[in-house]
Amino acid sequence: MASTTSTTTTGSNAPDDINTAPTRLFSLDALRGFDMFWIMGGEEIFHTLAKATGSPFWGTIANQFTHPDWNGFHLYDLIFPLFLFMAGVSTPFSVGRELEKGKSRGQLTVRVIKRAFILVLLGLVVNNGLNIMPISQIRFASVLGRIGIAYMFANIIYLYSRERMQMVWFWFFIIGYWLLLKFTSAPGFHPGDLTMQGNFASYMDRLLLPGRLYLGIHDPEGLFSTIPAISTGLLGILTGSLLKKKGLQQIRKVTIMTVTGVIFLIIAQIWNLDFPINKNLWTSSFVMHVGGISLLLMALFYYVIDVLGYKKWAFFFKVIGMNSILIYISGKFIKWQYTTNGFFGWLGQLVGDPYNIVVMAVCFIMVKWIFLYYLYQKKTFLRV
């Protein structure tokens, strides 16, 4: 997944000055790092614990770090949309700040489009490497590509519309997507068919996307299902605008995020009865469900870190969050498992079966974190 402009710190134990707009958020980098922790190997700790112990308890937790085959939700499904949500949160602090400095909307639009283009290209590299291959074998849809496209449209809407219209666009995309999939289908299927073969979004991807789809007839990062993902980015932007707002106490901001998050979760469960929560299709109920959880996590991190001022515990995650793009794409260029075995293989042998795999999973994360910490100390960050 990709990083947008990093936003790092305000918030202290001092009383909130409601007339001063915060310029940076330590909590946003920490939450981004928390999100990326699971991508960089955190989930493997639970998978190895389940394997080593054979415990149903650890097995149940490990199952949450897998994706459902189709409908349903596991915690692992949150990682991608939470990252896109946070990319939106950073917009008022990055793009908004440039507007305040006098940059024109046209200049910023060009910058946003360039960023989207770079993310799409990086997504191609992550999917296919640097090998030359026939177009028919290239997978064009990608996680980074979706982030880039959704981020681009959400930011353009931010640049050219007021907050109220941004809310209208948020609902427009997810309600329109719901109605479209409810009253259409792939040829030969009844309207509203939401199976992998029969749904309209997958059918359109089969028609429009060149190259290969991840699952042959469907791609979870397909072009058509990027439409509701724009709303995920817009929700982040609206949240970022709230957090940046002057004249509003911090605790009030926390309350608004918390209450809105709970309401979103309730709406998601109701909508799920007609339009199932499904990451593969990025359904509207999925947007509401992950949006609700994202708001609650943002409220929690913001309250603990920026309101109460407890920051030291989050430094581990901040180091990860400051270089999120780099750690996501690094596996294409660095043999992390080889490096881990080289440094800590002796420790795995010392521990022995069955817990050696758990120890090596922890060491795998440690090696990556030390690398990121070194870059953090050198103030070296990969930006897009």
Residue 268 has pLDDT above 70, yes or no: yes
What pLDDT score was predicted for residue 336? 92
For residues 277-282, give the mean pLDDT.
97
What pLDDT score was predicted for residue 23? 60
Cα–Cα distance for residue pair 136/133, rounded to 1 Å: 8
* pLDDT digits 0-9 by tens, 191-209: 999 999 999 999 999 999 9
Phi–psi pair at 4, nearest 5 degrees:
-100, -165
Within 13 Å of residue 14, how many CA atoms lie on the same side as its CB?
5
The fraction of the chain above a pLDDT of 70, given in percent, is 94
Taking the alpha carbons of 91, 84, 305, 320 in that order, is the dihedral positive or negative? negative
Q: Which residue has the higher pLDDT, 12 or 94?
A: 94
* pLDDT digits 0-9 by tens, 123-160: 999 999 888 888 889 999 999 999 999 999 999 999 99
Cα–Cα distance for residue pair 75/83, rounded to 1 Å: 13
Short-list 87, 25, 38, 94, CA closest to 66: 38
291: three-class secondary structure by DSSP = helix
Cα–Cα distance for residue pair 263/257, rounded to 1 Å: 10
Inter-CA distances, 138 with 220, 255, 328, 380, Å: 15, 46, 20, 32
Residue 8 has pLDDT above 50, yes or no: no
Phi–psi pair at 248, nearest 5 degrees:
-130, 125
Confidence of residue 172 (pLDDT cuts 50, 70, 90): very high
Structure token pair of residue 307 = 């309101």
For residues 56-78, give the mean pLDDT.
95
Structure token pair of residue 155 = 């930011």
* pLDDT digits 0-9 by tens, 345-373: 999 889 888 999 999 999 999 999 999 99
Residue 41 is classified by DSSP as I
Confidence of residue 64 (pLDDT cuts 50, 70, 90): very high
Yes or no: say if 35 and 87 are a contact pair by the CB < 8 Å rule: no
Phi–psi pair at 169, nearest 5 degrees:
-60, -40
* pLDDT digits 0-9 by tens, 226-252: 999 999 999 999 999 999 998 899 999
Residue 36 has pLDDT above 80, yes or no: yes
Yes or no: say if 52 and 355 are a contact pair by the CB < 8 Å rule: yes
What pLDDT score was predicted for residue 288? 98
Confidence of residue 20 (pLDDT cuts 50, 70, 90): low
Mean of pLDDT over the chain: 91
The fraction of the chain above a pLDDT of 90, given in percent, is 84
For residues 61-81, give the mean pLDDT.
95
Cα–Cα distance for residue pair 293/228, rounded to 1 Å: 17
Q: Which range has the worst mean pLDDT, 23-27, 60-64, 109-113, 181-185?
A: 23-27
Confidence of residue 17 (pLDDT cuts 50, 70, 90): low
Residue 308 is classified by DSSP as S
211: three-class secondary structure by DSSP = strand
What pLDDT score was predicted for residue 319? 95
Confidence of residue 122 (pLDDT cuts 50, 70, 90): very high
What is the chain's Cα-based Rg? 21
Phi–psi pair at 166, nearest 5 degrees:
-60, -40
* pLDDT digits 0-9 by tens, 308-334: 999 999 999 999 999 999 999 988 888
Residue 5 has pLDDT above 80, yes or no: no
Spatial CB neighbours of 14, under 8 Å, sequence gap ≥ 6:
none
Yes or no: say if 301 and 311 are a contact pair by the CB < 8 Å rule: no
Residue 93 has pLDDT above 90, yes or no: yes
What pLDDT score was predicted for residue 1? 43
Cα–Cα distance for residue pair 149/154, rounded to 1 Å: 9
What pLDDT score was predicted for residue 19? 53
Amino acid at site 293: I
Yes or no: say if 160 and 171 are a contact pair by the CB < 8 Å rule: no
What is the distance, to the nearest Å, from the Cα of residue 283 to the centroid of all Cα atoms in its chain?
16
Cα–Cα distance for residue pair 30/104, rounded to 1 Å: 31
244: three-class secondary structure by DSSP = helix
